[in-house]
Amino acid sequence: MINVFQPALGADELAAIGRVFQSNWLGKGKLTAQFETDFATHLGVERNLVRSVNCCTEGLFQAIEVLGIGSGDEIILPTISFVGAANAIAARGAVPVFCDVDRRSLNATPETIAAKLTPRTKAALILHYGGLPGDLDGMHAVASGVGITLIEDAACSVATRYKGRGAGTIGEIGVWSFDAMKILVTGDGAMTYWNTPELAQRAEELMYLGMTTKSGFTTSVDTRWWEFDISCYGRRSIMNDISSAMGLEQLRKLPDFIRRRREIHERYDALLADLPWMELPPPVPAEAESSYYFYWLQMAPDIRDRLAGWLRERGIYTTFRYYPLHWVAHYGAKISLPAAEEAARSTLCIPIHQSLTDNEVAEISDRIHEFGRLHV
């Protein structure tokens, strides 16, 4: 089976984990601090604005909680979003307000966000579909124009840049995921960015039991180092040095990962350009750099469904991300969002990951052409 997503882990990560075993400190320690430092450098932001967290979903929950969002508040998010984003909002008693997306990029736009603003709107929580940023300046202007926070779910945009800045650092809060299906992989793990040290500090306390003082291993010579106070009823949402050891190795390799993904993206662009019955992903705008997390095809809905099944029977896995949240019955959103609905019926994500070989890319293209000759 050719996977849609696949991690690229090897001897370097294994050796790094081995060193953690030898150090006898498996928990959150020096390596996690180093990973935060290196990730901040990668983003081009100050070190003390970045905090690691055990997964990106938890980072989204933290963002909503740190902002003090609660009952009666509304948060706008594209309906083509990760389910955890809407859960983070609804779990606090706030209302996830789903907005439409651009049919081709599947990203929210300044217009689709503006269309859902009310006096109760407290934030907009956007994502960069497949690592491709939308009109971030435009969306940020809409948010700051009415004094609401822009949260960027940059889960799959680990190397995405917009006008030279790291995606996830354009708005006030950003989150990145390193789960098993992402580009940079640590098993589970994530990073968060907060645009003020105060927000970052509040998040840190929430992520570690509400502790206002550092606990754990200490070289302090103070007496009674076991005493503490808390600032809130915090959870324990931390990364550990095993995951961070992997993360440090993966971060070093990230430029190579992205180069390979871009190469595959361009190969698909060339190989599939002659198929009149489908549209290829929109080009990356001049002001942006993508992470190339998805490669998505768009075609008539009945063809999309048949192509997915046909490829799967031939060992090529595909999928669609993200199933529109206004179609998830539990949220009870009885609305229509035409562009997102059209995209959800016509879009198919085909395999793209840094371990995909040229032969596999050629095989996928050949199979799609074969399907076209037989069934379109």
Ligand X SMILES: *Cc1c(COP(=O)(O)O)cnc(C)c1O
Which spans of this chain sit near ligand X (rule: CB under 6 A)? 55-57, 82, 84, 127, 153, 155-156, 177, 179, 190
Nearer Cβ to ligand X, position 56 or 297? 56
Q: Which amino acid is at 345?
A: R
| Closest approach of ligand X to the CB of residue 36, in Å | 16
Nearer Cβ to ligand X, position 82 or 295? 82
Cβ pair 99, 337 in contact under 8 A: yes
Stated as kind and residue range, the H or E segment containing 373 is: helix 358-375
Nearer Cβ to ligand X, position 16 or 55? 55
Closest by CA to 298, choosing from 134, 104, 128, 130, is: 104
| Closest approach of ligand X to the CB of residue 157, in Å | 8
Instruction: Tell me the helix, strand and coil percentages in the chain, rounded to 5.
Output: 40, 15, 45
| Closest approach of ligand X to the CB of residue 55, in Å | 4
- C-alpha count within 13 angstroms, C-beta hemisphere, residue 242: 9
State the virtual CA torsion across 28, 31, 33, 37 in degrees, nearest 10: -150
- For 197-204, the CB contacts below 8 A with 24+ separation are 197/48, 197/49, 199/66, 199/172, 199/173, 200/48, 200/49, 200/50, 200/51, 202/66, 202/231, 203/51, 203/53, 203/62, 203/63, 203/66, 204/51
| Closest approach of ligand X to the CB of residue 9, in Å | 16
| Closest approach of ligand X to the CB of residue 129, in Å | 8
Nearer Cβ to ligand X, position 25 or 327? 327
Q: How many CB atoms lie within 10 A of CB 167?
A: 30
Nearer Cβ to ligand X, position 97 or 155? 155
| Closest approach of ligand X to the CB of residue 340, in Å | 15
Q: The tokens of 256 are what?
A: 């190579």
Nearer Cβ to ligand X, position 127 or 132? 127
| Closest approach of ligand X to the CB of residue 71, in Å | 24
Cα 295 from Cα 265, distance rounded (Å): 7
Nearer Cβ to ligand X, position 156 or 242? 156
